Homo-oligomer: A and B are copies of this chain.
Amino acid sequence: MAKITDVARAAGVSVATVSRVLNQPGVVAPDKRQRVLDAVRALNYTPNTLAHALRAGQVKTVALLVGDISQPFHGALAKALDREGERHGYRVLLRDLDNKEERLVKALDELTTSDTYGVVLATPDDLGMAPVRAAITRAQGRGLVIVCSSQVIENSATAAIVPRYQAISRLATHHLVTAGLKSLIFVGGSDDSPLSRERRLGFEHACAEMGVSVDPDFVLDGEFAVEPSYQSLRALFKRRLGRDFGPGSDRPRFGIIAVNMRMVIGAFQAADEFGLRVPDDVALVCCEELPLATEWRPPVTTVGIDFATLAEATFAALIAGSEAPAVTFVPHRLTVRVSSMLPGAQAILA
């Protein structure tokens, strides 16, 4: 509660001197400097952030507008951003959008440069719609720096920090084909979403490259959730299992590429219901890297990005402001775990 004038009085100097001691050390004479520091300690003085920011005309806060913070993926992102922000002296304001477009527009319209230096957009939902783009433009017009950590927004001057979605599902598919699998199931999202389309293309391209045919029936919409993934896989198994792919007479293994961990869970449950074991009967890869993938039994092979790297690139773009590149790609990584290993290979892990 002590202010700079109190410190000045206690130290017997002017407020200007106190300010200098704190901000331009070395300019003030050693004796006065010491007296000021003593007074600061004695009075337990802390500069008023508000007054500082008002004077400086800049706030060290970034708003994280996130689709659904109760999803571990977004939680991990928030965590990484908080850590990275700490390094740069920024704080993170959290706004949960509940995956609603109108909440995003409202949240954007409420932000000001007096609250917030910049905004991090992170939602899988399509941000290309006119109302959203308009809200982004308005916010930018108010001087806010906006960065999107999930997708490239077409026709928008918003810096994007994105994984290569297509390359990720392509690598995941490649991994399974390399392991000798010929029958592959892709559990993705609806083609309405540009991101989902990207991922499906990655799957199909990889299959084409590797000479594996894609049965349209094997491309499923799991709606990014457990139940629909389970249901669609179950339906597929009912129709085709033992006829077109394993386990039939010779029980050939087949593969599943699932986009996120919830879809992986759905896949495990469907497989389980048909007596299929992972990885003995089914090899499985997930296109996002979360702690749960490691904790799962068997541990799940993933192709994913590192959240710390994503956060780092995001802050770099925020700080660069309008100087930031339009698109920054975040590298991804294939982490092979038991879920996609040949039964014989697992022992080598130990």
Contacting residues of chain A (272-296) with chain B, CB-CB under 8 angstroms: 272, 290-292, 295-296
Interface 9-residue window, one of A6-14, A43-51, A187-195, A322-330: A43-51
Nearest-neighbour CB distance to chain B for A339, whole angstroms, equals: 13
Nearest B residue to A68 by beta-carbon distance?
B79
A262 vs B70: C-alpha distance in the bound complex, in angstroms? 15
Known contacts A1-B142, A93-B94; A75/B70 CB under 8 A: yes
Residues of B within 8 A of A292 (CB): 226
Nearest-neighbour CB distance to chain B for A333, whole angstroms, equals: 18
A82 vs B115: C-alpha distance in the bound complex, in angstroms? 16
Pairwise interchain contact A93-B96, C-beta atoms closer than 8 A: no
Answer whether residue A225 sits at the interface, using C-beta atoms and an 8 A cutoff.
Answer: yes
Nearest-neighbour CB distance to chain B for A285, whole angstroms, equals: 19
Known contacts A48-B114, A142-B1; A296/B93 CB under 8 A: no
Pairwise interchain contact A94-B64, C-beta atoms closer than 8 A: yes
Answer whether residue A230 sits at the interface, using C-beta atoms and an 8 A cutoff.
Answer: yes
Residues of B within 8 A of A69 (CB): 69, 75, 78-79, 82
Nearest-neighbour CB distance to chain B for A218, whole angstroms, equals: 22
As for how many copies of this chain the complex holds, the number is 2
Residues of B within 8 A of A50 (CB): 50, 53-54, 59, 114-115
Q: Tally A residues with Cβ within 8 Å of B.
A: 52
Known contacts A70-B79, A291-B70; A49/B297 CB under 8 A: no
Answer whether residue A334 sits at the interface, using C-beta atoms and an 8 A cutoff.
Answer: no
A60-99 interface code vs B (CB 8 A; 1 in, 0 out): 0100100011111011101100110000000111111010
Nearest-neighbour CB distance to chain B for A191, whole angstroms, equals: 23
A99-130 interface code vs B (CB 8 A; 1 in, 0 out): 00000000000001111000000000000000
A297 vs B295: C-alpha distance in the bound complex, in angstroms? 18
- 6 closest Cβ pairs, A-B complex: A70-B75, A226-B295, A94-B94, A70-B76, A48-B114, A49-B114
